[in-house]
């Protein structure tokens, strides 16, 4: 490990919604819908800002796969995610 390596816990909410949107190629409005449905619950900072953790981003990658490749809607995704936890 180098002198300036930063270690961030996978549960630490550090990614803003615009960055997550680009990382997983998912529109911001879809991320907001997933939050509203309780599928992925980012940490709220203030009234509007959402911060996602690396664990959230990984879950969203899986959700993106389910939506794009398997054509599962948000209701179906919620059921799949709840069964896996």
Q: Over 80: is that where the pLDDT of 73 sits?
A: yes
Task: State which fold the 15-84 domain adopts.
Answer: Multidrug-efflux Transporter Regulator; Chain: A; Domain 2 (1.10.1660)
Q: Over 80: is that where the pLDDT of 1 sits?
A: no
Output helix, strand, coil percentages for the chain, rounded to the nearest 5: 50, 10, 40
Q: Is the pTM of this model over 0.85?
A: yes
Domain boundaries along the sequence of the chain? 15-84
53 near 23, Cβ under 8 Å? Answer: no
pLDDT tens digits for range 29-54: 999 999 999 999 999 998 889 999 99
């Amino acid at each position: 490990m180098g002198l300036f390596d930063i270690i961030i816990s996978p549960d630490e909410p550090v990614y803003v919604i615009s960055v997550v949107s680009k990382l997983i190629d998912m529109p911001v409005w879809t991320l907001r819908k997933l939050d509203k449905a309780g599928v992925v619950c980012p940490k709220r900072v203030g009234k509007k800002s959402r911060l996602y953790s690396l664990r959230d981003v990984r879950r969203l990658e899986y959700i993106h796969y389910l939506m794009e490749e398997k054509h599962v809607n948000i209701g179906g995704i919620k059921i799949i995610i709840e069964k896996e936890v």
